[in-house]
Amino acid sequence: MAQTKIHKMISSLRLRFTINVFKKYLLGSKNLPGIAQVEDVFEELQIDDKELLSDETWKNWFKHKYVSTKRGKIENLDLLAKDKITVKTEHGSETGRLPDHYFKELCFGGLVSELIKPTRTKATSKLDKLIERANNYTPISLLHLHLDAIEVITLNDDFYDVPWEKVMEIASRRILEILFDCWGPRNGQFYSSFSSSLKLRWDEADENERKQIREFYSQFQPDIFEEKMQPGAEPDWGLIGVSDDVAPQHIYKALFAMAADTEFLVEDRLEAWALSLATAALAMHALAWSDRYTIFGLQITEEMVFWGALSLLFFNSETDDVDSKHLRSAMKRCQAEWDERSFDVFTAARKIYYDELADCGTSFQDIMCIVKTAKNVHPQIYRG
Protein backbone atom coordinates (compact mmCIF):
# COMPACT_ATOMS: atom_id res chain seq x y z
CA MET A 1 0.00 0.00 0.00
CA ALA A 2 2.79 2.41 0.96
CA GLN A 3 4.78 1.59 -2.16
CA THR A 4 1.72 2.25 -4.36
CA LYS A 5 1.31 5.64 -2.68
CA ILE A 6 4.97 6.49 -3.22
CA HIS A 7 4.80 5.46 -6.88
CA LYS A 8 1.73 7.67 -7.32
CA MET A 9 3.52 10.61 -5.70
CA ILE A 10 6.60 10.20 -7.90
CA SER A 11 4.53 9.81 -11.09
CA SER A 12 2.60 12.94 -10.23
CA LEU A 13 5.77 14.87 -9.42
CA ARG A 14 7.34 13.87 -12.73
CA LEU A 15 4.23 15.01 -14.62
CA ARG A 16 4.21 18.35 -12.80
CA PHE A 17 7.87 18.87 -13.69
CA THR A 18 7.12 17.97 -17.31
CA ILE A 19 4.16 20.24 -17.98
CA ASN A 20 5.58 23.21 -16.10
CA VAL A 21 8.98 22.99 -17.78
CA PHE A 22 7.25 22.70 -21.17
CA LYS A 23 5.24 25.83 -20.40
CA LYS A 24 8.31 27.67 -19.15
CA TYR A 25 10.19 27.03 -22.38
CA LEU A 26 7.12 27.78 -24.48
CA LEU A 27 6.02 31.06 -22.86
CA GLY A 28 9.34 32.45 -21.67
CA SER A 29 8.84 35.70 -19.76
CA LYS A 30 5.03 35.29 -19.87
CA ASN A 31 5.20 32.08 -17.86
CA LEU A 32 3.42 31.91 -14.50
CA PRO A 33 4.64 28.79 -12.65
CA GLY A 34 2.04 26.30 -11.50
CA ILE A 35 -0.81 27.94 -13.45
CA ALA A 36 -2.27 26.35 -16.60
CA GLN A 37 -2.42 29.62 -18.63
CA VAL A 38 -4.58 27.80 -21.17
CA GLU A 39 -5.16 30.79 -23.47
CA ASP A 40 -1.50 31.79 -23.55
CA VAL A 41 -0.33 28.22 -24.16
CA PHE A 42 -2.68 27.46 -27.03
CA GLU A 43 -2.21 30.88 -28.59
CA GLU A 44 1.50 30.12 -28.69
CA LEU A 45 1.04 26.55 -29.94
CA GLN A 46 -1.48 27.37 -32.69
CA ILE A 47 -2.59 23.75 -33.13
CA ASP A 48 -5.84 22.53 -34.69
CA ASP A 49 -5.34 18.83 -34.06
CA LYS A 50 -6.92 18.08 -30.67
CA GLU A 51 -5.36 14.61 -30.81
CA LEU A 52 -1.97 16.21 -30.28
CA LEU A 53 -3.07 18.19 -27.23
CA SER A 54 -6.48 19.40 -26.14
CA ASP A 55 -7.16 22.29 -23.79
CA GLU A 56 -9.16 19.89 -21.61
CA THR A 57 -6.17 17.60 -21.17
CA TRP A 58 -3.94 20.56 -20.42
CA LYS A 59 -6.34 21.93 -17.79
CA ASN A 60 -6.72 18.52 -16.12
CA TRP A 61 -2.97 18.16 -15.78
CA PHE A 62 -2.84 21.34 -13.73
CA LYS A 63 -6.07 20.81 -11.83
CA HIS A 64 -5.17 17.90 -9.57
CA LYS A 65 -2.09 17.41 -7.41
CA TYR A 66 -1.99 13.65 -7.99
CA VAL A 67 -2.74 12.95 -11.61
CA SER A 68 -1.35 10.57 -14.23
CA THR A 69 -1.30 10.56 -17.99
CA LYS A 70 -0.60 8.32 -20.97
CA ARG A 71 2.86 8.09 -22.50
CA GLY A 72 1.55 9.10 -25.91
CA LYS A 73 0.29 12.43 -24.57
CA ILE A 74 3.75 13.36 -23.34
CA GLU A 75 5.37 12.15 -26.56
CA ASN A 76 3.12 14.69 -28.29
CA LEU A 77 4.71 17.41 -26.16
CA ASP A 78 8.08 16.41 -27.61
CA LEU A 79 6.60 16.65 -31.11
CA LEU A 80 5.23 20.11 -30.37
CA ALA A 81 8.52 21.19 -28.82
CA LYS A 82 10.36 20.50 -32.07
CA ASP A 83 8.27 23.12 -33.84
CA LYS A 84 7.39 25.54 -31.06
CA ILE A 85 10.32 25.67 -28.62
CA THR A 86 13.71 27.16 -29.37
CA VAL A 87 16.49 27.05 -26.81
CA LYS A 88 18.19 30.42 -26.55
CA THR A 89 21.40 31.64 -24.99
CA GLU A 90 21.47 34.42 -22.42
CA HIS A 91 22.08 36.84 -25.32
CA GLY A 92 18.95 35.75 -27.15
CA SER A 93 20.61 34.03 -30.08
CA GLU A 94 19.09 30.74 -31.21
CA THR A 95 21.11 27.66 -30.40
CA GLY A 96 18.74 24.92 -31.46
CA ARG A 97 16.05 22.67 -30.04
CA LEU A 98 15.68 20.65 -26.90
CA PRO A 99 17.11 17.11 -27.05
CA ASP A 100 14.88 14.39 -28.47
CA HIS A 101 12.49 12.79 -25.97
CA TYR A 102 13.23 15.53 -23.45
CA PHE A 103 9.73 15.54 -21.96
CA LYS A 104 9.09 11.81 -22.27
CA GLU A 105 12.27 11.14 -20.30
CA LEU A 106 11.31 13.77 -17.74
CA CYS A 107 7.90 12.18 -17.21
CA PHE A 108 8.44 8.45 -17.74
CA GLY A 109 12.18 7.85 -17.92
CA GLY A 110 15.00 8.20 -15.45
CA LEU A 111 17.58 6.09 -13.67
CA VAL A 112 15.16 4.13 -11.49
CA SER A 113 12.94 3.28 -14.44
CA GLU A 114 15.99 2.02 -16.32
CA LEU A 115 17.27 -0.03 -13.38
CA ILE A 116 14.11 -1.88 -12.41
CA LYS A 117 12.62 -2.62 -15.81
CA PRO A 118 11.91 -6.37 -16.24
CA THR A 119 14.74 -8.58 -17.41
CA ARG A 120 14.82 -12.05 -18.94
CA THR A 121 18.59 -12.30 -18.90
CA LYS A 122 19.86 -15.48 -17.26
CA ALA A 123 23.47 -15.37 -18.39
CA THR A 124 24.43 -12.77 -15.78
CA SER A 125 23.31 -12.21 -12.23
CA LYS A 126 20.63 -9.65 -11.45
CA LEU A 127 23.18 -7.67 -9.46
CA ASP A 128 25.53 -7.51 -12.45
CA LYS A 129 22.61 -6.45 -14.64
CA LEU A 130 21.76 -3.60 -12.24
CA ILE A 131 25.36 -2.38 -12.21
CA GLU A 132 25.55 -2.57 -16.01
CA ARG A 133 22.32 -0.59 -16.40
CA ALA A 134 23.46 2.04 -13.93
CA ASN A 135 26.83 2.48 -15.66
CA ASN A 136 25.11 2.89 -19.04
CA TYR A 137 22.68 5.53 -17.81
CA THR A 138 23.20 9.18 -18.75
CA PRO A 139 20.57 11.86 -18.03
CA ILE A 140 19.51 14.46 -20.59
CA SER A 141 19.96 17.40 -18.22
CA LEU A 142 20.69 18.39 -14.63
CA LEU A 143 16.94 18.67 -14.07
CA HIS A 144 16.46 15.07 -15.18
CA LEU A 145 19.24 14.04 -12.80
CA HIS A 146 17.63 15.92 -9.94
CA LEU A 147 14.40 14.00 -10.43
CA ASP A 148 16.49 10.82 -10.42
CA ALA A 149 17.95 11.78 -7.04
CA ILE A 150 14.49 12.37 -5.61
CA GLU A 151 13.22 9.06 -6.93
CA VAL A 152 16.22 7.04 -5.78
CA ILE A 153 15.39 7.87 -2.16
CA THR A 154 11.99 6.22 -2.64
CA LEU A 155 13.42 2.82 -3.58
CA ASN A 156 11.93 0.27 -1.21
CA ASP A 157 11.49 -2.95 -3.20
CA ASP A 158 13.99 -5.70 -3.87
CA PHE A 159 14.97 -6.32 -7.48
CA TYR A 160 14.48 -10.09 -7.83
CA ASP A 161 17.13 -11.42 -5.40
CA VAL A 162 18.90 -8.06 -4.96
CA PRO A 163 17.92 -6.30 -1.67
CA TRP A 164 16.44 -2.80 -1.92
CA GLU A 165 19.42 -1.37 0.00
CA LYS A 166 21.78 -2.60 -2.71
CA VAL A 167 19.58 -1.18 -5.46
CA MET A 168 19.58 2.18 -3.67
CA GLU A 169 23.35 2.04 -3.22
CA ILE A 170 23.99 1.33 -6.91
CA ALA A 171 21.60 4.06 -8.05
CA SER A 172 22.85 6.76 -5.67
CA ARG A 173 26.48 5.98 -6.48
CA ARG A 174 25.71 6.41 -10.17
CA ILE A 175 24.19 9.86 -9.55
CA LEU A 176 27.28 10.93 -7.62
CA GLU A 177 29.48 9.55 -10.42
CA ILE A 178 27.57 11.60 -12.99
CA LEU A 179 28.00 14.73 -10.87
CA PHE A 180 31.69 13.89 -10.58
CA ASP A 181 31.93 13.63 -14.38
CA CYS A 182 30.43 17.13 -14.56
CA TRP A 183 32.34 18.79 -11.70
CA GLY A 184 35.42 16.67 -10.96
CA PRO A 185 38.68 18.64 -10.58
CA ARG A 186 40.54 16.91 -13.40
CA ASN A 187 38.16 16.53 -16.32
CA GLY A 188 34.84 18.03 -15.22
CA GLN A 189 32.74 18.41 -18.36
CA PHE A 190 31.03 21.62 -17.27
CA TYR A 191 34.11 23.80 -17.00
CA SER A 192 34.73 24.14 -20.73
CA SER A 193 31.21 25.47 -21.34
CA PHE A 194 30.96 28.05 -18.55
CA SER A 195 31.19 31.74 -19.42
CA SER A 196 34.75 32.99 -19.00
CA SER A 197 35.48 35.58 -16.33
CA LEU A 198 36.47 38.10 -18.99
CA LYS A 199 33.20 37.53 -20.87
CA LEU A 200 31.19 38.17 -17.71
CA ARG A 201 33.23 41.27 -16.94
CA TRP A 202 32.82 42.50 -20.52
CA ASP A 203 29.04 42.04 -20.46
CA GLU A 204 28.73 44.19 -17.34
CA ALA A 205 31.16 46.90 -18.47
CA ASP A 206 30.19 50.26 -19.94
CA GLU A 207 31.79 51.68 -23.06
CA ASN A 208 34.70 53.31 -21.20
CA GLU A 209 35.47 50.15 -19.20
CA ARG A 210 35.41 48.05 -22.36
CA LYS A 211 37.92 50.43 -23.94
CA GLN A 212 40.23 49.97 -20.95
CA ILE A 213 39.90 46.19 -21.15
CA ARG A 214 40.81 46.16 -24.84
CA GLU A 215 43.79 48.44 -24.23
CA PHE A 216 45.04 46.13 -21.47
CA TYR A 217 44.93 43.01 -23.62
CA SER A 218 46.41 44.79 -26.64
CA GLN A 219 49.67 44.98 -24.68
CA PHE A 220 50.14 41.25 -25.18
CA GLN A 221 51.71 39.86 -28.33
CA PRO A 222 49.81 38.17 -29.70
CA ASP A 223 46.63 39.83 -28.38
CA ILE A 224 44.87 37.22 -26.16
CA PHE A 225 41.58 39.10 -25.80
CA GLU A 226 39.59 36.78 -28.07
CA GLU A 227 41.10 33.74 -26.41
CA LYS A 228 40.09 34.96 -22.94
CA MET A 229 36.56 35.67 -24.19
CA GLN A 230 36.01 32.05 -25.15
CA PRO A 231 33.99 29.80 -22.82
CA GLY A 232 35.86 28.14 -19.99
CA ALA A 233 36.24 28.68 -16.24
CA GLU A 234 37.31 26.66 -13.19
CA PRO A 235 37.30 27.35 -9.47
CA ASP A 236 40.48 28.01 -7.54
CA TRP A 237 41.15 24.44 -6.39
CA GLY A 238 43.69 25.57 -3.82
CA LEU A 239 41.24 28.06 -2.31
CA ILE A 240 38.46 25.51 -1.98
CA GLY A 241 40.85 22.81 -0.74
CA VAL A 242 39.83 20.07 -3.17
CA SER A 243 42.55 17.73 -4.43
CA ASP A 244 42.67 15.97 -7.77
CA ASP A 245 42.11 12.58 -6.19
CA VAL A 246 38.70 13.34 -4.64
CA ALA A 247 36.49 10.24 -4.90
CA PRO A 248 33.25 10.38 -6.93
CA GLN A 249 31.19 9.44 -3.87
CA HIS A 250 32.55 12.55 -2.11
CA ILE A 251 31.68 15.00 -4.88
CA TYR A 252 29.04 16.47 -2.57
CA LYS A 253 31.88 17.72 -0.32
CA ALA A 254 33.73 19.22 -3.28
CA LEU A 255 30.59 21.01 -4.44
CA PHE A 256 29.93 22.26 -0.92
CA ALA A 257 33.50 23.58 -0.61
CA MET A 258 33.14 25.42 -3.92
CA ALA A 259 31.18 28.09 -2.04
CA ALA A 260 34.54 29.35 -0.77
CA ASP A 261 35.34 30.64 -4.27
CA THR A 262 32.79 33.42 -4.48
CA GLU A 263 34.44 34.88 -7.58
CA PHE A 264 33.83 31.66 -9.49
CA LEU A 265 30.22 31.06 -8.44
CA VAL A 266 28.42 33.68 -10.49
CA GLU A 267 25.92 33.71 -13.36
CA ASP A 268 25.63 30.39 -15.25
CA ARG A 269 28.17 28.73 -12.96
CA LEU A 270 26.14 29.63 -9.86
CA GLU A 271 22.90 28.32 -11.33
CA ALA A 272 24.36 24.98 -12.39
CA TRP A 273 26.16 24.62 -9.05
CA ALA A 274 23.05 25.30 -6.96
CA LEU A 275 20.98 22.56 -8.61
CA SER A 276 23.97 20.18 -8.61
CA LEU A 277 24.56 20.72 -4.89
CA ALA A 278 20.90 20.00 -4.08
CA THR A 279 21.07 16.87 -6.25
CA ALA A 280 24.28 15.76 -4.57
CA ALA A 281 22.68 16.24 -1.15
CA LEU A 282 19.81 13.89 -2.02
CA ALA A 283 22.11 11.30 -3.61
CA MET A 284 24.49 11.41 -0.66
CA HIS A 285 21.58 10.90 1.72
CA ALA A 286 20.27 7.97 -0.34
CA LEU A 287 23.70 6.33 -0.35
CA ALA A 288 23.95 6.79 3.41
CA TRP A 289 20.42 5.46 3.94
CA SER A 290 21.34 2.27 2.10
CA ASP A 291 23.64 1.61 5.08
CA ARG A 292 21.60 3.59 7.58
CA TYR A 293 22.50 1.66 10.75
CA THR A 294 26.18 2.41 10.14
CA ILE A 295 26.03 5.92 8.70
CA PHE A 296 23.12 7.23 10.78
CA GLY A 297 24.03 5.31 13.91
CA LEU A 298 25.30 6.49 17.27
CA GLN A 299 28.62 7.88 16.02
CA ILE A 300 28.82 11.25 14.25
CA THR A 301 29.77 10.66 10.60
CA GLU A 302 30.72 12.96 7.73
CA GLU A 303 27.40 12.18 6.05
CA MET A 304 25.45 13.17 9.15
CA VAL A 305 27.28 16.50 9.36
CA PHE A 306 26.86 17.38 5.68
CA TRP A 307 23.25 16.20 5.52
CA GLY A 308 22.54 18.40 8.56
CA ALA A 309 23.96 21.39 6.67
CA LEU A 310 22.49 20.66 3.25
CA SER A 311 19.05 19.64 4.48
CA LEU A 312 18.86 22.91 6.41
CA LEU A 313 19.98 24.81 3.33
CA PHE A 314 17.61 23.27 0.78
CA PHE A 315 14.86 21.38 2.61
CA ASN A 316 13.96 23.38 5.70
CA SER A 317 11.63 26.35 6.14
CA GLU A 318 12.28 27.03 9.82
CA THR A 319 14.71 29.85 9.11
CA ASP A 320 15.83 32.08 6.25
CA ASP A 321 19.25 32.48 7.83
CA VAL A 322 21.69 29.96 6.36
CA ASP A 323 24.39 30.91 8.87
CA SER A 324 23.85 28.11 11.35
CA LYS A 325 25.88 25.75 13.50
CA HIS A 326 25.05 22.95 11.04
CA LEU A 327 26.49 24.83 8.08
CA ARG A 328 29.56 25.93 10.01
CA SER A 329 30.16 22.37 11.22
CA ALA A 330 30.25 21.18 7.62
CA MET A 331 32.50 24.07 6.63
CA LYS A 332 35.00 22.99 9.31
CA ARG A 333 35.13 19.54 7.68
CA CYS A 334 36.49 21.12 4.47
CA GLN A 335 39.98 22.38 3.71
CA ALA A 336 38.61 25.53 2.09
CA GLU A 337 39.61 29.10 2.94
CA TRP A 338 36.20 30.44 3.93
CA ASP A 339 35.06 34.02 4.37
CA GLU A 340 31.70 35.57 5.22
CA ARG A 341 30.80 36.05 1.54
CA SER A 342 30.31 32.30 1.28
CA PHE A 343 27.08 32.63 3.25
CA ASP A 344 25.79 34.96 0.54
CA VAL A 345 26.59 32.26 -2.02
CA PHE A 346 24.74 29.63 0.00
CA THR A 347 21.78 32.00 0.34
CA ALA A 348 21.78 32.56 -3.42
CA ALA A 349 21.90 28.79 -3.98
CA ARG A 350 18.80 28.31 -1.84
CA LYS A 351 16.89 30.99 -3.77
CA ILE A 352 17.93 29.56 -7.14
CA TYR A 353 16.83 26.10 -6.06
CA TYR A 354 13.49 27.25 -4.66
CA ASP A 355 12.84 29.28 -7.84
CA GLU A 356 13.70 26.23 -9.94
CA LEU A 357 11.25 24.08 -8.01
CA ALA A 358 8.56 26.76 -8.32
CA ASP A 359 9.13 26.86 -12.08
CA CYS A 360 8.53 23.09 -12.05
CA GLY A 361 5.24 23.50 -10.19
CA THR A 362 6.48 22.07 -6.91
CA SER A 363 8.36 22.92 -3.71
CA PHE A 364 10.86 21.42 -1.32
CA GLN A 365 7.94 20.58 1.02
CA ASP A 366 6.54 18.26 -1.67
CA ILE A 367 9.91 16.59 -2.06
CA MET A 368 10.37 16.10 1.67
CA CYS A 369 6.86 14.64 1.90
CA ILE A 370 7.87 12.00 -0.64
CA VAL A 371 11.18 11.33 1.14
CA LYS A 372 9.54 10.92 4.56
CA THR A 373 6.82 8.65 3.17
CA ALA A 374 9.46 6.42 1.57
CA LYS A 375 11.67 6.28 4.67
CA ASN A 376 8.70 5.19 6.77
CA VAL A 377 8.56 1.95 4.78
CA HIS A 378 11.95 0.91 6.16
CA PRO A 379 12.50 3.01 9.29
CA GLN A 380 15.49 2.73 11.58
CA ILE A 381 14.53 0.45 14.45
CA TYR A 382 16.75 -0.17 17.46
CA ARG A 383 15.82 -2.98 19.81
CA GLY A 384 17.29 -3.28 23.25
Same domain, 291 and 362: yes
Same domain, 250 and 140: yes
Same domain, 136 and 50: no
What dihedral do alpha carbons 68, 72, 73, 74 form, nearest 10°?
A: 80
Same domain, 41 and 183: no
Q: Which amino acid is at 371?
A: V
Same domain, 346 and 245: yes
333 contact partners, CB below 8 Å, separation of at least 6: 253, 302, 305, 306
C-alpha to C-alpha distance for 141 and 168, rounded to whole angstroms: 21
Nearest to 370 by CA among 51, 155, 64: 155
Domain end: 85, 108, 131, which one? 108
Same domain, 133 and 85: no
Instruction: Please report the pLDDT score of residue 322 as a whole number.
Output: 74
Same domain, 268 and 311: yes
CB 88 within 8 A of CB 94: yes
Domain end: 108, 142, 162, which one? 108
Instruction: Please report the pLDDT score of residue 307 as a whole number.
Output: 94
Domain count, the chain: 3
C-alpha to C-alpha distance for 247 and 180, rounded to whole angstroms: 8
Nearest to 167 by CA among 209, 213, 211, 134: 134
Q: In 53-103, at which residue ranges do the beta strands (DSSP E only) sit?
A: 87-88, 94-96
Same domain, 215 and 285: no
Same domain, 286 and 141: yes
Instruction: Please report the pLDDT score of residue 194 as a whole number.
Output: 93
C-alpha to C-alpha distance for 20 and 180, rounded to whole angstroms: 28
C-alpha to C-alpha distance for 270 and 278, rounded to whole angstroms: 12
CB atoms within 10 A of CB 11: 17
Can you give the residue range of the structural domain that contains 222? 196-230
Same domain, 100 and 161: no
C-alpha to C-alpha distance for 338 and 356, rounded to whole angstroms: 27
Residues with pLDDT less than 50, the chain: 1, 90-93, 384
Instruction: Please report the pLDDT score of residue 155 as a whole number.
Output: 92
Same domain, 42 and 182: no
C-alpha to C-alpha distance for 50 and 53, rounded to whole angstroms: 5
Same domain, 82 and 155: no
Instruction: Please report the pLDDT score of residue 51 as a whole number.
Output: 84
Domain end: 178, 212, 230, which one? 230
